[in-house]
Amino acid sequence: MISKINSLKLLLICAIISSCSYTQLKNEAPLLNRIKVNKKFKINLPENHTDGYMWQLKDDYNKNLISHLNAVWHGNEKGIDFNFQSLSIGQVTLSFTKRKYLDTSDFKTFIVNILP
């Protein structure tokens, strides 16, 4: 009986953790990334603060389709996660610029197709 209860607790914990996790999108444009409505997702970009360059999300995406939740830097080795949640069916393009003051060193674009 005790092992059955422990198994149920473990299953519940795993379900909670997986429901809170973010799907990582990796396909840069022109490739598509597919995600379902009401799902959390992230885009990870390499960012090493020793060189002074930082990624910025361009603010021209459709905010009716996705919500930008936050950005979390995980250190020079793991980079920065831009976290989002899909809100509605459609397609949105997310553009990122890597810059230091007015100097731009890189661009990345991700196309997100949001499905029912």
Beta bridge partners of 109: 95
Distance CA 55, CA 65 (A): 22
Q: Which stretch of DSSP H or E encloses residue 2?
A: helix 2-20
Could you tell me the pTM of the whole model?
A: 0.81
pLDDT of residue 21: 86
Residue extents of the structural domains in the chain? 24-115
DSSP 3-37: HHHHHHHHHHHHHHHHHHPPEEP-PPTTSEEEEET
Q: Please, are residues 68 and 57 in contact by the beta-carbon 8 Å criterion?
A: yes
Q: What pLDDT is attached to residue 1?
A: 52
Q: Quick check: 8 pLDDT over 70? A: no
Residue 18: its pLDDT value, please?
A: 44
User: What is the CATH number that goes with domain 24-115?
Assistant: 2.60.40.2020
Question: Rounded to whole angstroms, how far apart are CA atoms 116 and 110?
Answer: 19
Q: How far apart are CA 111 and CA 25, in angstroms?
A: 10
The helix/strand/coil state of 48 is coil
pLDDT digits (tens, 9 = 90+) for 42-89: 999 999 989 999 999 999 999 999 999 999 999 999 999 999 999 999
Integer Rg of the chain from CA: 17
Please write the tens of the pLDDT for every residue from 85-116. Answer: 999 999 999 999 999 988 899 999 999 999 99
